[in-house]
Amino acid sequence: MKLSREGQLGQLWKSAGLVNVQEKPLVIDQAYASFDDYWGSFLRGAGPGGAYVVSLSDERRRALEARMRRRLLGNREDGTFVLKARAWCVRGEVPKAG
């Protein structure tokens, strides 16, 4: 995803002329009650990932769902799980007029 890697937002702020730019990750635990709790937003087309999922044929979407289910739940049929969610926080200052 665009501007989702370390340094990318900070560089954008710097290229806009800001100084004393600081960039830090904000990380939270995102808990899901079930696989459907996680997968439902993708099926509604939420965000870039959801847009991709709804663009797939039914067969490819089912295959992706099966892979994700195995990856997140392993051998369990369903249940709760937690993923780490990260967003980048950037701050900068407008340079003082000289």
pTM for the model: 0.73
Residue type present at position 53 = V
Whether residues 13 and 39 fall in one domain = no
Q: Residue 3 has what pLDDT?
A: 81
Q: Which two tokens stand for residue 42?
A: 């993708």
Closest CA to 36 of 75, 81, 3: 81
Residue partners of 46: CB distance under 8 A and separation at least 6: none
Residues 66 and 90 in one domain: no
Do 73 and 90 lie in a common domain? no
The answer on pLDDT for 1 being more than 80 is no
pLDDT of residue 16: 96
The pLDDT, as a whole number, for residue 72 is 96
Tell me the pLDDT tens digit for each residue of 30-83. Answer: 999 999 999 999 999 998 899 999 999 999 999 999 999 999 999 999 999 999
Helix (H) or strand (E) holding 71: helix 58-73
Per-residue pLDDT, 4: 83
> DSSP letter at 56?
S
For residue 4, the enclosing domain spans: 1-32+82-98
